[in-house]
Amino acid sequence: MLNLLAHRREFDGLAAAPSSLWPAFESGDASALNDFLRNPDPALKSLQVDFAQTRGNYEARIFDEGVLPVRKKSLHDLFNVLAWRTFPRAKAAINRIHKDAMATELPGKRGRCRDFLTLVDEAGVVVLVQDQKSAEHMAAEIRRVRQGDPADYPEEIRHLMAITGAQLTVFGHALFESLVLRPETLSKVGAFALVLPREGSETADGMLAEYLDSKALGLHPALFPSLRLDIVFKLFLEGRKIHNSPG
C-alpha cells in the first residue's frame, strides 16, 4: 500500500502525504492520528479517532463527542482523516447539517438532504468561478458536454475550464480511494460538481462551508452536474489551475 500511495502529485494540497499516515492505520495507532487531527484554529473542533467503533451513530459521535470512528487498514478512512484536516470547515458543516437533518427524519428513514451530503462528502468536487452568473453557465455547460460524444469530452472540458479560468478542488475522500485502488474505472466514475462563485472566504474549504450552511436542509443532488473523474485528475496533472486548497 505504501508503494501505491507514494509520490503521487494528485495528492498535492492535502494536509499531509497519505503515505505518512498509512502506518498508523496499519498498526491502529490512534495517538498519531489524534496528533494529526489536532486543529490549530481554536474556533474549530479537534477530533479524536476511535478504531473500536463499538457504539453510537457515526455523525452524532462526531458532532456530540468529537470522536471520528475509523477502521484499521482502511484506505477509505485514511482519506477521510486527511479530508477532515485539509477541509475542516466544510467537513464540520456537512456533519452539522447531517445532525440537524436527522432530527427531522422518521426513525430508520434517511432523507434526500442527507443523501446529498453523503454524495458531496464522498465524491464532491468544487469548481470555483468568477460570479453567480458564471456558476450557472458553467453548470449548464458541464451537463451539455456530458451528454455529448464521449470522444470529445476530454477536450471540451479542458477548453471550458481554460476559457472560464475555473479552479477545481478535489474534496471527496472516496475519489482519492478510487484513484489508488481502481484507476482503470475512473472514466466511469462521476465526481459530483459544486460550481460556486468566488465569494466570501478565501479558500475552497471556506467557500464550500459557507455554501452548505446557506443552503442547509434545502440541498438536493439534482441541482449539480457530474465530471468524469479521469478528466479531473488528468487536468490536475496538466496544471490546469486544478488544485486542493488546505483549510
pLDDT number for residue 43: 81
Q: What are 42-97's pLDDT values in tens digits? A: 888 889 999 987 777 889 899 999 999 999 999 999 999 999 999 999 999 999 99
Between 222 and 128, the more confident residue is 128
The region, left, alpha or beta by phi > 0 then psi within -120 to 50, assigned to residue 106 is: beta
- The C-alpha atoms of residue 238 and residue 241 are separated, in whole angstroms, by 9
- The C-alpha atoms of residue 198 and residue 74 are separated, in whole angstroms, by 34
- Residues forming a β-bridge with 48: 67
pLDDT number for residue 141: 94
pLDDT number for residue 194: 92
